[in-house]
Structure 1
């Protein structure tokens, strides 16, 4: 299956675009760069994992994507708290990232149950 057809990848790409839009006017370049990198890492690692040859390798990249999602949620909370991200936008993004994380966790469990090469 091509990664482009995966709902989790599609949603991760959409949330990444929304993060970029939310950060457009942010004047704190350090936070802006970190948040956008974390967001971009989620769909990128999903895609890279799906392009790997073994299930074990695929799972490793899904785990990295899950970690990036955790980073992004943390950074969004901080951005909201310090007033760099509008609350309703930030909490909406956090909710979507948490839903994507749940999808990633389900995929990790499914793929791990099919690993025969470990």
Structure 2
């Protein structure tokens, strides 16, 4: 097992996604979205790393997997909210493409970690 959740590749990639959302996407949302889309997107992005960290901290494989599945859902939620931001013309097509690439990588890495937990670790 890893010494710290920050060493997990899935956590690192989700952290990069969260930073991209924070620095490149949220700043483009208009004030009217401050308490709706902005808040939902930020919470979803934060949830990706928070659930990976919580899952890593669990002592049982099934608990860890459950939180990884929640993190996977949060990654999908980030993509969904970002599709909405593009639909509203708040961000560019290129930014949505970047989010699609990042979320795809996050999902691949989370799925790989779930597979690792399922095959390598036994309660």
* Distance in 1 between residues matched to 2:8 and 2:113, nearest whole Å: 11
**Please, which of 105, 111, 116 is the counterpart of residue 110 of structure 1?**
116
* Distance in 1 between residues matched to 2:26 and 2:46, nearest whole Å: 13
Query: Contact conserved, 1:41 with 1:65, CA < 8 A, in 2?
Result: yes
The residue that corresponds to 1:70 in the other structure is 76
**Please, which of 18, 23, 27 is the counterpart of residue 26 of structure 2?**
23
* TM norm structure 1: 0.91
> What does the per-residue CA deviation read over 1:56-109, in whole Å, with 9 as the maximum and x for residues that have no partner?
110010000001111111111111111112221122012111111011112112
* Distance in 2 between residues matched to 1:114 and 1:6, nearest whole Å: 15
* Distance in 2 between residues matched to 1:37 and 1:85, nearest whole Å: 19
Query: Contact conserved, 1:76 with 1:94, CA < 8 A, in 2?
Result: no
* Distance in 1 between residues matched to 2:122 and 2:20, nearest whole Å: 38
Aligned to 2:50, the other structure's residue is in SS state helix
* Distance in 1 between residues matched to 2:20 and 2:75, nearest whole Å: 14
* Distance in 2 between residues matched to 1:91 and 1:34, nearest whole Å: 20
Query: CA RMSD of the aligned region, Å?
Result: 1.3
* TM norm structure 2: 0.88
* Distance in 2 between residues matched to 1:114 and 1:108, nearest whole Å: 10
Query: Contact conserved, 2:13 with 2:105, CA < 8 A, in 1?
Result: no
Tell me the number of residue pairs that the alignment of Structure 1 and Structure 2 aligns. 117
